[in-house]
Amino acid sequence: MDGELKFASLSEQVYGYLRQQMNYGDLLPGSTINIGEIARQRGISKTPLRDALIQDVKNAYDSIGLIEAFIVTECIDKIESSHIQRLEELNKKMISDINKNDFSQLFTTNLQFHNVYLDVSENEPLKKFILPIKHRLYDFPRQNYIKEWELRNCEEHNIFINHLQQGSGEEAAKVLKDIHWSFDYQKEFIYTFYEGQYESD
């Protein structure tokens, strides 16, 4: 328990510091984070700081997976062919952009994809809860995309869409919770993505 509190405290310190730097104009979204510099300024070691940020990512994945899976299960009867068509269009756009190595709109398009079925829900508190978590995942930074991972995410989208077409909310929810937003399933790419973007010196 104490370890979890320390992780939470460290990650909150870091994100508070980064947000402050953005407000001052000293850090732009998409900039590379210098872990070494932050550690020196905050008077903490680099390794626990990096571990705290990764733990924060895990918590975010777990939270998003649970909420999205719940919403899909609850709202499967409200998802119509027009929603599925929109999901297919957005996923095709993502695949096309990835194959062209154009990642400029990927985060926005991905948010739009997930919002297609989230917006079907009338549970506003859950939807308000999930958006800041997603932004926190991608605010810092967004320049080191991994093409293989992004394409695999789109394939997971396709599997998810197929379950929706069959009217199987439970199976669609499993894709979200146990694969798409599973830290354990995605951790190889997650470590590569986040650790590769943090300057350590």
Domain ranges (residues) in the chain: 2-199
Predicted pLDDT of residue 4: 47
User: Residue 61: pLDDT band by 50, 70, 90 thresholds?
Assistant: very high
Backbone angles phi, psi at 101, to 5 degrees: 60, 35
Residues 6+ apart with CB under 8 A from 27: 18, 21, 140
- Rounded to the nearest integer, the mean pLDDT of the chain is 84
Query: Span 49-70, mean pLDDT?
Result: 89
pTM of the predicted protein model? 0.81
98 in Cβ contact with 150 (< 8 Å): yes
Query: Span 17-23, mean pLDDT?
Result: 63
pLDDT tens-digit profile of 117-148?
999 999 999 999 998 888 777 665 455 689 99
In this predicted structure, the answer to whether residue 2 has a pLDDT above a threshold of 50 is no
Which string of b and e fits 54-88 if b means at least 16 CB within 10 Å? bbbbbbbbeebbbbbbbbbebbbeebeeebbebbe
44 in Cβ contact with 164 (< 8 Å): no
More confidently predicted of 152 and 26: 152
Q: How many residues does the chain have?
A: 201
CATH number for the region 2-199 comes to 1.20.120.530
In this predicted structure, the answer to whether residue 19 has a pLDDT above a threshold of 70 is no
Counting residues of the chain whose pLDDT is more than 90, the rounded percentage is 53
User: Residue 13: pLDDT band by 50, 70, 90 thresholds?
Assistant: low
